[in-house]
């Protein structure tokens, strides 16, 4: 097994784990894995083929054959490619999130994405965010953080994010969506959303992004310095 260190940041949608993972990775100069993007890509690829209702095997085949590439544009903004098309914006839509959550309950799809996720673990280290980074994909992660925030706070954050992008969604509809997705992610039999036994819990409801980032970086440095 690779010895490159991993920081796993798991939590429900809207907890801020994507933002925190990106900032922590940047501060440490480590690689970043947004595992949710991979599930979103499977949902999107299935939709483009008109196969969202396909069998588990067919969806797992789509996951195995994902032609995905991550890079950054001239301004340093991350971009995600599916084959030849830039799907960065489409991937963040609520529709894509819903499709991702549906394919994510399928064990064969999860299994098909395992190797791809592990391949992100390269020198000097990896910050991985998702739902099962600390429990399933990187159980030997150096640091496991379970980031939470109240459902109301998460709905408000997502609402603002979408509003800033000019996307008009009602707050109650968004809250319902977040609760439905939490339920589906927590109740599925394979790799459900739950903290690893050795995870450190961090509630971001009343903390700024800078405070959460600093807390995770302090924990990381504690462990790196102790080595
Ligand atoms: O983090 P996100 O909103 O981009 O994730 C999209 C969906 O993918 C979410 O409903 C849960 C699922 N997912 C998962 O099951 N396991 C992961 N490691 C990451 C995401």
Instruction: Dump pLDDT digits (tens) for 30-58.
Output: 999 999 999 999 999 999 999 999 999 99
Top-ranked range on mean pLDDT: pick from 50-54, 139-143, 162-166: 139-143
Structure confidence at residue 103 (pLDDT): 95
Whether the Cβ atoms of residue 134 and residue 196 lie closer than 8 Å to each other: yes
Residue 1 in domain: no
Record the pTM. Answer: 0.90
Question: Which CATH number goes with the domain that contains 57?
Answer: 3.40.50.300
CB atoms within 10 A of CB 132: 23
- Smallest CA separation from ligand 1 atom 12, residue: 101
Please give the number of the atom of ligand 1 that sits closest to the Cα of 117. 18
- What are 58-116's pLDDT values in tens digits? 999 999 999 999 988 888 888 999 999 999 999 988 899 889 989 999 999 999 999 99
Measure 153 CA to ligand 1 centroid, in angstroms. 19
Residues 100, 46: Cα–Cα separation, whole Å: 10
For 46, phi and psi rounded to 5 degrees? -65, -45
100 C-beta closer than 6 A to ligand 1: yes
Whether residue 181 has its Cβ less than 6 Å from ligand 1: yes
What pLDDT is recorded for position 76?
80
140 in any annotated domain: yes
pLDDT of residue 182: 84
Residue of 158, 197, 164 whose CA lies nearest to 178 = 158
Q: Is 158 part of a structural domain of the chain? A: yes
Residue 110 lies in a domain: yes
Find the domain containing 126 and state its range: 6-226
Average confidence score pLDDT of the chain: 92
From the number of C-beta atoms within 10 Å of its C-beta (0-12, 13-18, 19+), residue 21 rates as buried
Mean pLDDT (whole number) for 205-213: 95
Question: What domain count does the chain have?
Answer: 1
Mutate to test the pocket of ligand 1, among 16, 89, 104 (most ligand atoms within 8 A of CB): 104
């Amino acid at each position: 097994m690779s010895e490159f260190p991993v920081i796993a940041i798991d939590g429900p949608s809207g907890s801020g784990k994507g933002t925190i993972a990106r900032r922590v990775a940047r501060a440490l100069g480590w690689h970043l894995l947004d595992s949710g993007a991979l599930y979103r890509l499977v949902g999107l690829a299935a939709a483009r083929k008109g196969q969202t209702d396909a069998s588990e095997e067919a969806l797992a085949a789509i996951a195995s054959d994902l032609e995905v590439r991550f890079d950054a544009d001239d301004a340093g903004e991350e971009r995600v490619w599916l084959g030849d098309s830039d799907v960065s914006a489409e991937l963040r839509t609520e529709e894509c999130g819903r499709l991702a959550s549906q394919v994510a309950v399928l064990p064969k799809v999860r299994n098909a994405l395992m190797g791809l996720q592990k391949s992100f673990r390269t020198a000097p280290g990896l910050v991985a965010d998702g739902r099962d980074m600390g429990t399933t994909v990187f159980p030997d992660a150096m640091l496991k953080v379970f980031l939470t925030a109240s459902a109301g706070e998460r709905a408000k954050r997502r609402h603002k994010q979408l509003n800033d992008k000019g996307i008009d969604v009602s707050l109650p509809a968004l809250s319902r969506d977040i609760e439905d997705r939490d339920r589906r992610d927590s109740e599925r039999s394979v790799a459900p959303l739950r903290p690893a036994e050795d995870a450190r819990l961090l509630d971001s409801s009343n903390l700024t992004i800078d405070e959460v980032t600093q807390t995770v970086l302090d924990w990381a440095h504690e462990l790196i310095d102790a080595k």
